[in-house]
Structure 1
Amino acid sequence: MSLLLDATEFYTIPPHSKRSPTSCIRGRQQRTSWGGDLLGRWVGKRQGRRYFGARLPYVGNAPSCAAIGWTWPKMGSMLFAAVFIALHFATGGLANPDAKRLYDDLLSNYNRLIRPVGNNSDRLTVKMGLRLSQLIDVNLKNQIMTTNVWVEQEWNDYKLKWNPDDYGGVDTLHVPSEHIWLPDIVADGNYEVTIMTKAILHHTGKVVWKPPAIYKSFCEIDVEYFPFDEQTCFMKFGSWTYDGYMVDLRHLKQTPDSDNIEVGIDLQDYYISVEWDIMRVPAVRNEKFYSCCEEPYLDIVFNLTLRRKTLFYTVNLIIPCVGISFLSVLVFYLPSDSGEKISLCISILLSLTVFFLLLAEIIPPTSLTVPLLGKYLLFTMMLITGYT
Structure 2
Amino acid sequence: MIHVAFLLLIVFTDGSSSKKVCSYQDVVDYLNLTTDNGAYKLTRPVLDYNHLTVVKLDILLYAILAVIEKTQTFIPFVWATVMWNNERIKWDPTQFCGITHISVPTEMLWKPDLFIYEMIQKDDSPLNPYMLVSYEGEVSSEQDIRVVSTCRMDVHKFPFDTQRCNITIGSAVHTVNEMRLSPFSNSSRATQFTREVIKSQGEWEFLQLCVTSNNFTYGNRQWEQLIYTFTMKRRPLLHVINFLLPILFFLTLDIASFFIADHRGEKLGFKVTVLLAISVLLLILNDILPSMSNKTPLIATYCIVIFALMLLSLLETILVTYLMEKDSASSEKLRLRDELEDKQEKVKINNCNTVEKRRTCCSCICKASDGEKQHELLPVAEEVNNSIQSRESRVLLLILEELKELQKTLNLQLSCRHEVGKFGHWATRINRAFFIFYITTVSLFLCLIFIEWNS
Query: Do the structures match in fold with TM over 0.5?
Result: yes
Instruction: Tell me the residue number matched to 1:277.
Output: 205
Aligned residue among 94, 100, 119 for 2:48 = 119
Task: Give yes or no for contact 1:264–1:302 (8 Å, CA) kept in 2.
Answer: no
1:236-275 alignment, distance < 5 Å: 236-253=168-185, 261-264=187-190, 266-267=193-194, 268-275=196-203
Q: CA RMSD in A?
A: 1.9
SS in 1 for 2:147: strand
Per the TM alignment, residue 97 of structure 1 is displaced from its structure 2 partner at its CA by 4.5
Q: What is the CA distance between 1:369 and its match in structure 2? A: 2.5
Counterpart residue number, 2:275: 349
SS in 2 for 1:332: helix
Structure 2 residue 220 is matched with structure 1 residue 288: no
In 2, Cα distance between the equivalents of 1:249 and 1:351?
A: 55
Q: Distance in 2 between matches of 1:338 and 1:384?
A: 19
* Farther off after superposition, 190-199 or 212-221: 190-199
Q: Which runs of 5+ in 2 are unaligned?
A: 1-20, 315-455
How many residue pairs align between the two structures? 286
SS at structure 1 position matched to 2:23 = helix
- Deviation of 1:382 after TM superposition, in Å, equals 1.5
Q: Does 1:167 align with 2:91?
A: no
After superposition, what is the alpha-carbon deviation per residue over 1:9-48, rounded to whole angstroms, capped at 9, x for unaligned? Answer: xxxxxxxxxxxxxxxxxxxxxxxxxxxxxxxxxxxxxxxx
State how 1:1-388 maps to structure 2 within 5 Å: 97-106=22-31, 107-108=33-34, 109=37, 110-188=39-117, 189-190=119-120, 192=123, 194-253=126-185, 261-264=187-190, 266-267=193-194, 268-290=196-218, 292-293=219-220, 295-388=221-314
Letter in 1 for 2:228: F
**8 Å contact kept, 1:249–1:299:** yes
Deviation at 1:263, TM superposition (A): 4.9
Q: Which has the higher strand share?
A: 1
SS in 1 for 2:284: helix
Gaps of 5+ in 1: 1-95, 255-260
1:264–1:296: structure 2 CA closer, same or farther, 3 Å change rule? farther
Counterpart in the other structure of 2:324: none
**Contact 1:197–1:209 under 8 Å retained in 2:** no
Offset from partner CA, 1:358-384 (integer Å, 9 cap, x none): 111111112533222221221122212
Is the 1:219–1:234 contact (alpha carbons within 8 Å) kept by the matching residues of 2? yes
Find the residue that maps to 1:282 and give its secondary structure: strand
Cα distance in 2 for partners of 1:227, 1:209 equals 39
Aligned equivalents of 1:201, 1:327: Cα separation in 2: 70
Aligned partner letter, 1:234: N
Distance 2:189 2:149 in 1: 19
On the 8 A contact 1:197/1:210 being kept in 2, the answer is no
The alpha carbon displacement at 1:100 in A equals: 0.9
Is the 1:197–1:211 Cα contact (8 Å) retained in structure 2? no
Does the 8 Å CA contact 1:219/1:231 hold for their aligned counterparts?
no
Q: Distance in 1 between matches of 2:294 and 2:25?
A: 62
Give secondary structure in 2 for the equivalent of 1:210.
strand
Q: Percent identity?
A: 24
Q: Aligned pair in 2 of structure 1 residues 263, 321: CA closer, same or farther (>3 Å)?
A: farther
Contact 2:22–2:97 under 8 Å retained in 1: no
2:174 partner amino acid: Y
Following TM superposition, by how much is the alpha carbon of 1:335 offset from its aligned partner in structure 2, in angstroms? Answer: 2.0
Residue identity in the other structure for 2:197 = D
Of the two, which has the highest radius of gyration? 2
Report the structure, 1 or 2, having the larger helix content. Answer: 2
Whole-Å Cα distance in 2 between the matches of residues 156 and 246 of structure 1?
Answer: 13
Find the aligned partners of 1:344 and 1:301 in 2 and give their Cα distance.
55
Measured in 2, the distance between the counterparts of 1:381 and 1:327 equals: 13
Partner-residue secondary structure (3-state), 1:162: coil
Please, what TM-score do these two structures have when normalized by structure 2?
A: 0.60
Return the offset for 1:296. 2.5
Partner of 1:49: none
Higher alpha-carbon deviation: 355-364 or 366-375: 366-375
Q: State the AA in 2 paired with 1:101.
A: D
Give me the whole-angstrom Cα distance separating, in 2, the residues matched to 1:177 and 1:352.
Answer: 58
Give the Cα separation in 1 of the matches to 2:257 and 2:109.
Answer: 77
What's the offset of the Cα at 1:341?
A: 1.0
